[in-house]
Amino acid sequence: MADYDPSVSATRPHWHGLWTRSLLVGADGQRDVSSAASWLQGPELFVDLRQPAARPAFCLVPGFAQLSIAAETWLAGQQGFAGSFHVAQNRAAWQREIDYQPPGPTPDEGVLSWEGETLVETGLHSPYLEHWHEAAQPNHPCAALRLRAAQTGQAAILVRTGPIFMLARGRAPGIRLAAPSLAACLAGAADATARQALLDCEISRGTASGWVINASTLPWREGQRLRLSLDRPGRLLIDGAVWEIIHEEGQIDAFTTA
């Protein structure tokens, strides 16, 4: 376990902003330097998206109905989650409220340290290691929303810092991931409809100038534009659908395309 280092949080005024990963060393010793991993941190809420490199062309279809079994299997290898971030001294916890994969056996907690400009995360409950780098771009406005769909009850988290936004939308209520991985859940699903329900969890990243999605667990969402408007206090419209604002952080007017 890494040593206690109070300087990690004591000298840092904030954590919000976009972080990208250059290295993952897993518990099995395998190194990953090719996956695209983005962590967007708001005042407290965050969204994280991790996608393997070289997505096959057969994943680029208009929607669920056109996915092949091979495409479903590849998509199931993605990762993404969202929730609240807490750090005390050099110990950090990412409390996941939405997760693309089934919940793991241990909490998502790590020890943070610095190697020059590189933020090093070492697992507390599993011997993994990650290298993170803060993007050199504006971090304001900085805001985040915890949302619930008025019609379906789905949970969502929307974060913006500077020019970047990330959206995490959970599965329909009642959908449970009972196997150790999403791929295993798909393999045990009864039919195509059940597989689609398991895959229907969106983690997307985009640019707030135009609110265009440029990366997503649902590939057909890429290139689409979010239409956001504050319908009235406590409600946000996303592409015409009503979402109740359960919790807000920062400048709420950062979420508007008007």
Share of the chain above pLDDT 90, in %: 90
Amino acid 161: pLDDT:
97
The answer to whether 168 and 78 have CB atoms below 8 angstroms apart is: no
Q: How many CB atoms lie within 10 A of CB 132?
A: 16
Q: What is the DSSP string of 125-187?
A: SS--EEEEEE-SS---SEEEEEEEETTT--EEEEEEETTEEEEEEPPPTT----SSSHHHHHH
Does the pTM surpass 0.85? The reply is: yes
Q: What is the pLDDT of residues 17-40, one digit of tens each?
A: 999 999 999 999 999 999 999 999
Per residue in 103-125, pLDDT (tens digit) is 999 999 999 999 999 999 999 99
The pLDDT assigned to 241 comes to 96
The confidence band for 199, taking pLDDT boundaries of 50, 70 and 90, is very high
The average pLDDT across 171-180 equals 95
pLDDT at 64: 96
Residue 186 pLDDT class (50, 70, 90 cuts): very high
Which has the higher per-residue pLDDT, 6 or 124? Answer: 124
| Residue range 55-89, pLDDT digits in tens | 999 999 999 999 999 999 999 999 999 999 999 98
pLDDT level of residue 1 (50, 70, 90 thresholds): very low
CA dihedral for 116, 25, 207, 17, sign (positive or negative): negative
Among the listed residues 201, 153, 200, 190, the one whose alpha carbon sits nearest the alpha carbon of residue 173: 153
Q: Can you list the domains of the chain with their CATH numbers? A: 7-134 (2.40.128.280), 142-254 (2.40.128)
Nearest to 12 by CA among 149, 183, 134: 134
Of 97, 96, 82, nearest in space to 41 by CA: 82
How far apart CA 37 and CA 54 sit, in angstroms, is: 13
Looking only at Cα atoms, what is the longest distance across the chain? 53
